[in-house]
A and B are shown apart, each in its own frame.
Chain A
Amino acid sequence: MPQTGAEKKRKFRSAKRMREIMTEYYIEAKTADQTGKKVAWITSGGPVEPLIAMDVIPVYPENYGAMIGASHMGSDLCAKAEALGYSTDLCSYARADIACALEDGGPIGGLPKPDMLVCCNNICGTVMKWYEIQARLFDVPLFIFDTPFCHVDFAGEARRYVRTQIDEYIGFLEGVCGKKFDIDRSREVGRLSLKGQRLWQEVLDAAAHRPSPMTAFDAFFFLALIVTLRGTTKVVDFYTELLEEMKERVSQGISAVENERYRLLWDNLPVWYRLKWLSDTFAAHGACLVADTYTTAWCGSMKYIDENNFIDSMAEAYTRIYLNIGVDEMAKTIFEMIDKYEVDGLVMHSNRSCKPYSFGQYDIMRMVQEKKGIPCMMLESHMVDERSFSESQALTRIDAFMEVISQRGPRAGIAR
């Protein structure tokens, strides 16, 4: 079907540039053995800046997991891991990555082999075992960056404990790379990282505008760079351009969803293999998912970063990320987002694959209903493993949720 002018307008021109950068990045990583660069596999919430400062290419099995999900390879790879003896209850990123590593399967012909692994458990406990398995398989050194759970405060002992590990981490990198850590370079990387995070937050903030120039589905796409390459000029340049495009869209009144009537907040990881279906299903109700807790997590702890002392302050920033804080703290973040983006409802994805993210959702939902009085829905699904998705159930739930919202009418007290 030919695209209408409005549809063309809604497309992001930055999407092309983003794909180019990601392709260059993966080519560079896949050819590292020819260029003499080292490759480190690192968890999505891991402190990547020291790697960038050491000129190591960071590779993210979780970003790859998202790619696997979006290319509909998840169920197959998960089933392969299950045949190896891994439980169906294990994280699907872990299952898919383990299966890929053994088979050289998956998108882009598998990830480049790592020279080292960096595992930070601020996102979950699964990564520790997952990375231990990969360290044995590839026979490479593994650094575990242990961030104690932060129920409320980042107390003195925890602060010292995490700070000590930064020195150990640097020592580990010096050992594997066979060169000294350049502190001046690391300051520059830290500065770029913070700048990238600020820009990313500004990009997300653009969705506070009515109608929203972007949806959470766009954010899921544009997220890849802040995850993989933060601390580089590429990221800063790209998000500067993207922010420019957002501002243009706002000034031209381009809305991500035609005739936006309702604004929703998404919680948890995306359902990678159903992005389009979910986006279309919500859009058919005039609903725009304007924001989400997931993509916000990569700039959510900026407030703890000291621009002039990145290395010291990153101890706190990496410990107090969204998945490593108590349920009350998570709820606070959600309340703030509900107000900031003026949403009419909350869509929670109960993600069977990701326990730390899904745990506490019913409590948060209750708090949201009590404090904010907006309808909430729970979508039971799975980020990568399509075998756990049931379309007709999901559709009934979404349709019913939108009926409840439309019976209430758009958010009270807000002029349209």
Chain B
Amino acid sequence: MKTAGIDIGSITAKAAVLEDGVILGTRVGFTGYNAGMAGRKVFEELTGELGLEASSIAWIVSTGYGRNSVEFAHKSMTEIICHGAGAHFLDPQVRTVVDVGGQDSKALILDESGKVTDFVMNDKCAAGTGRFLEVMARALEVNLDDFGEISLRSENPAKISSICTVFAESEVISLISRGEQRENIIAGIHDSVASRVYAMAQRLAVKAPIMMTGGVARNIGVVRALEKRFGSPIEVTGHAQVNGAIGAAVLACSLR
């Protein structure tokens, strides 16, 4: 049986198709202004790429902020449950998931069956999210995809003390004008995100192994900074960004 998961985030839309416990394919597109259309588009592109008829997908679950705009989904579920299911599917040993997406960050605790037993989400603030990194990348005129590698070269990370994205941006600008090296500033930014996410996760009874998911997991600098905070290695799979969509497709299997 084939199932699909559609994850409409604030910045990107993701799709995943599964067949009998195997990932057939995944795809990422931009959400843009029409979440419903973005969901259809990423789904059609993926099925097209896989040479599948849309009708061959038995069950579809949507998730993410735009979950209720995906009209062709059979059910919508929150990204909390989907990230939990995705992480458990990719590695059943995982007990804590840290998901950092475009506009929110969250941490969740899984039991041995992959059920979420507790979770926490960021407050109404962009600090510790992908949006924070985007703003900083723009201020530094660096491609966000290069952020991770650049920050690893830093020997002396700068200190970004403000937790407010807007104020942190002005801190970054003053660091730039003081001639601080770019890698140090970026490493400082990653520390700032990590400290915010770590503090939030500490409200839960965090258990290893920890997996990081969401688009920001692609940034090795943030992952390393978080590992330092947690004092434990953090697992990142190649599917980190589409983990929510994979989880949705996993959960879709139980709809039959």
Q: Are B116 and A396 in contact (CB under 8 A)?
A: no
**B117 close to A (CB within 8 Å):** yes
0/1 interface trace, chain B 106-149, chain A, CB 8 Å (1 if under): 00000000011111110110000000000000000000000000
A396 to B117 alpha-carbon distance, docked (Å): 16
**B80 close to A (CB within 8 Å):** yes
A357 to B79 alpha-carbon distance, docked (Å): 30
Contact A396/B77 with A362-B203, A404-B116, A407-B116 known, Cβ cut-off 8 Å: no
Q: Are A404 and B124 in contact (CB under 8 A)?
A: no
**A67 close to B (CB within 8 Å):** no
The smallest C-beta distance from B79 to any residue of chain A, in angstroms, reads 7
A362 to B205 alpha-carbon distance, docked (Å): 12
Contact A380/B123 with A393-B104, A403-B77 known, Cβ cut-off 8 Å: yes
**A356 close to B (CB within 8 Å):** no
A362 to B199 alpha-carbon distance, docked (Å): 13
The smallest C-beta distance from A269 to any residue of chain B, in angstroms, reads 18
Contact A407/B118 with A390-B124, A399-B78, A400-B80 known, Cβ cut-off 8 Å: no
A393 to B77 alpha-carbon distance, docked (Å): 14
**Chain A residue total in the interface (Cβ 8 A):** 18
Majority DSSP secondary structure for residues of A touching B = helix
Residues of A within 8 A of B119 (CB): 400, 404
Across the interface, name the chain B residue whose C-beta is closest to A392.
B65
Residues of A within 8 A of B124 (CB): 380, 388, 390, 393
Q: Are B203 and A396 in contact (CB under 8 A)?
A: no
**A52 close to B (CB within 8 Å):** no
Contact A404/B117 with A380-B124, A392-B65, A393-B104 known, Cβ cut-off 8 Å: yes
Residues of B within 8 A of A87 (CB): none
Contact A396/B79 with A362-B203, A390-B124, A404-B116 known, Cβ cut-off 8 Å: yes
**Chain B residue total in the interface (Cβ 8 A):** 17
**A10 close to B (CB within 8 Å):** no
Contact A403/B81 with A362-B203, A392-B65, A393-B104 known, Cβ cut-off 8 Å: yes
Residues of B within 8 A of A163 (CB): none
B:53-96 near A, CB below 8 Å: 65, 77-81
The smallest C-beta distance from A291 to any residue of chain B, in angstroms, reads 22
User: A396 is contacted by which of B115, B118, B121 (Cβ under 8 Å)?
Assistant: B121
A:381-405 near B, CB below 8 Å: 388, 390, 392-393, 396-397, 399-400, 403-404
Q: Are A375 and B118 in contact (CB under 8 A)?
A: yes
Q: Are A378 and B120 in contact (CB under 8 A)?
A: yes
Residues of A within 8 A of B78 (CB): 396, 399-400, 403
Q: Are B203 and A403 in contact (CB under 8 A)?
A: no
Across the interface, name the chain A residue whose C-beta is closest to B121.
A397
User: B80 is contacted by which of A362, A378, A396 (Cβ under 8 Å)?
Assistant: A396
A397 to B104 alpha-carbon distance, docked (Å): 12
Residues of A within 8 A of B104 (CB): 393, 396
The smallest C-beta distance from B73 to any residue of chain A, in angstroms, reads 14
Residues of B within 8 A of A308 (CB): none
A404 to B84 alpha-carbon distance, docked (Å): 11
Q: Are A369 and B81 in contact (CB under 8 A)?
A: no
**15 A-B contacts (beta carbon < 8 Å):** A378-B120, A380-B124, A388-B124, A390-B124, A393-B124, A396-B79, A396-B80, A400-B78, A400-B80, A400-B81, A400-B119, A400-B121, A403-B81, A404-B119, A407-B115
Known: A393-B104, A404-B118. 11 other contacts (CB 8 A): A380-B123, A393-B124, A396-B78, A396-B79, A399-B78, A400-B79, A400-B119, A403-B77, A404-B81, A404-B115, A404-B116
User: B-contacting residues of A (Cβ < 8 Å)?
Assistant: 362, 369, 375-376, 378, 380, 388, 390, 392-393, 396-397, 399-400, 403-404, 407-408
